[in-house]
Amino acid sequence: MLLKARKLFWLALGPVMLLLSGLGSPAWAEGDKVNRLYQVNMEPGVTEVGAEIYDLHMLIFWVCVVIGIAVFGVMFYSIYAHRKSRGVTPATFHESTKVEVLWTVVPFLILLVMAVPATSTLIDVYDTEDAELDILVTGYQWKWKYEYLDENGENVVFFSNLRTPQEEIYNTDKKNEFYLLEVDEPMVIPVDTKVRFLITAYDVIHSWWVPELAVKKDAIPGFINETWTQVTKTGVYRGQCAELCGKDHGFMPVVVNVVSKEEYVSWLAGKQAQAAEIAALMEQNFTMDELVARGKAVYDRSCLACHGANGEGGVGNAIAGSAIATGATNGHLDSVVNGVAGSAMQAFGGQLNDVDMAAVLTYQRNAFGNNMGDLIQPIDVYNFKQGQ
């Protein structure tokens, strides 16, 4: 009840009250920014550069407020005092070189003062040298790929997809607090470490943005951009793609999990072990149930957006009853591994490991009423890729 009253109050008076109460962010709960309703200002964030940018932003904001009060003050006084209904006779002056020069020169000087901190902050933003960790960020329609560059070539690579279920987006399920700002696998970086991001794109232009890290850089296909961060506080930081990149531009969030250096080392070791595990799984044969269970998870994350929760199709063709998913395994493998030229169907060969590929194909062949009853094992995928 109280909450509802409060909500109504904000709806009615929000903009006015927020201005009067100053531009602090009324943090309702510590930690994840999702809890901060009615945030009206930029975050100082968790990096030194972010704090610098925030200070610069506030400086310019207050300069504008002061000028605004002065200018509008004069105008509203004039509107009050110099109205015909008060019986005034209009003055006849219409120029004054002195005044006009003055209000050309003074703003110019104010701008000069602003340019100094702006320049020094920009130089800091551009200083990418001496990073301890390099991460290659690649924008895809509509997900991010993170590749941790390793000196010995043992790069850790994974995709980061939106985790919010379609049911929440299409309002059949209650939205969770991290709605649209949650991914299946966040980027993990260590705290107090200079991390350099090399940013590029696979298809169209994207833009990688995490407000609390004060990082936004365009991802351009064919070219590489770089930027950096050094986070001073552990936590989960959330952002989104900032450059229109097609249909699901609004559905490719960025989540960065900043952990202690020790945790990072063990996480990295875990990822490397996982890669080794995938390699081992390659040797294994799976049962139908295992493949279907794994395949459903892969499907929901990689296929559902275009092919629908029940394989009914959408942007992509229907999978239920499709000639490809109920046809020869090689044709099915070819479509998914290499994509379909001239259509929105991407080549997933480089995006899914062979185990996941085998699982999702098996799932597609045995779900949505496609009762093929056949299995595709990881080794089949491997052989297909080698033998193409």
Partner 1 sequence: MQLFADNPILNTVTKLVAVVVIMFSFVFVVMVPLYNVLCDALGINGKTSGERYEAVQIQVDESREITVQFIAMNNEGMPWEFAPSRTMMRVHPGAVNDTVFMARNPLSRDMVAQAIPSVSPARAAEYFHKTECFCFNQQPLGGEQSTEMPLQFIVDQGLPRDIKTITLSYTMFDITEMAEETAATAVASR
Partner 2 sequence: MGDHHHGPAKGLKRWLFATNHKDIGTMYLWFSFAMFLVGGAFAMIIRAELFQPGMQLIKPEFFNQMTTMHGLIMVFGAIMPSFVGLANWMIPMMIGAPDMALPRMNNWSFWILPPAFLLLLSTMFMDGGGPAFGWTFYAPLSTTYAPPSVTFFIFGVHVLGLSSIMGSINIVATVMNLRAPGMTYMKMPLFVWTWFITAYLLIAVMPVLAGAVTMMLMDIHFGTSFFSAAGGGDPVLFQHVFWFFGHPEVYIIILPAFGVVSQIIPTFARKRLFGYDSMVYATASIAFLSFIVWAHHMYTVGMPIAGELFFMYATMLIAVPTGVKVFNWITTMWQGAMTFETPMLFCIGFVVLFTIGGFTGLMLAIAPSDFQYHDSYFVVAHFHYVMVAGAVFSMTAAVYYWLPKWCGKMYNEAMGKTHFWISFVGFNLTFFPQHFVGLAGMPRRIPDYALQFADFNMMSSIGAFIYGSSQILFLYNVIATIVAGKPVSENKVWEGAEGLEWTVATPAPYHTFAVPPQVR
Indicate which of partner 2, partner 1, none lies near residue 153 (CB less than 5 to 8 Å, by partner kind).
Answer: partner 1
* Residue among 119 and 287 whose Cβ is closer to partner 2: 119
Residue 372: CB minimum distance to partner 1, A? 25
Q: Number of C-alpha atoms within 13 angstroms, CB side, residue 55?
A: 12
Q: Number of C-alpha atoms within 13 angstroms, CB side, residue 230?
A: 13
Using DSSP's 3-state secondary structure scheme, residue 276 falls into helix
* Residue among 145 and 238 whose Cβ is closer to partner 1: 145
How many residues in total does the chain contain?
388
Residue 153, CA distances (Å) to 15, 224, 255, 283 in order: 53, 19, 25, 23
* Residue among 141 and 362 whose Cβ is closer to partner 2: 141
Residue 240: CB minimum distance to partner 2, A? 5
Residue 46: CB minimum distance to partner 2, A? 14
Indicate which of partner 2, partner 1, none lies near residue 150 (CB less than 5 to 8 Å, by partner kind).
Answer: partner 1
Q: Number of C-alpha atoms within 13 angstroms, CB side, residue 365?
A: 25
Which residues would be at the binding site for partner 1 (CB under 8 A)? 128-131, 134, 136, 138, 149-153, 155, 198, 200, 202-203, 220-226, 337-339, 341, 346-347, 349-350, 385-386, 388
Contacts of 285 (CB under 8 A, 6+ apart): 377, 379
Residue 153: CB minimum distance to partner 1, A? 4
Residue 229: CB minimum distance to partner 2, A? 12
Residue 319: CB minimum distance to partner 2, A? 19
Find out whether 229 and 47 touch, Cβ atoms under 8 Å: yes
Q: Which two tokens stand for residue 19?
A: 């201005």
Indicate which of partner 1, partner 2, none lies near residue 131 (CB less than 5 to 8 Å, by partner kind).
Answer: partner 1
* Residue among 42 and 220 whose Cβ is closer to partner 1: 220
CA distance 203 to 222: 9
Indicate which of partner 1, partner 2, none lies near residue 309 (CB less than 5 to 8 Å, by partner kind).
Answer: none
* N-to-C CA span, the chain: 64
Indicate which of partner 1, partner 2, none lies near residue 39 (CB less than 5 to 8 Å, by partner kind).
Answer: partner 2
* Residue among 241 and 337 whose Cβ is closer to partner 1: 337
Which helix (H) or strand (E) segment holds residue 139: the answer is strand 133-140
Indicate which of partner 2, partner 1, none lies near residue 138 (CB less than 5 to 8 Å, by partner kind).
Answer: partner 1
The radius of gyration of the chain's CA atoms, rounded to the nearest angstrom, is 28
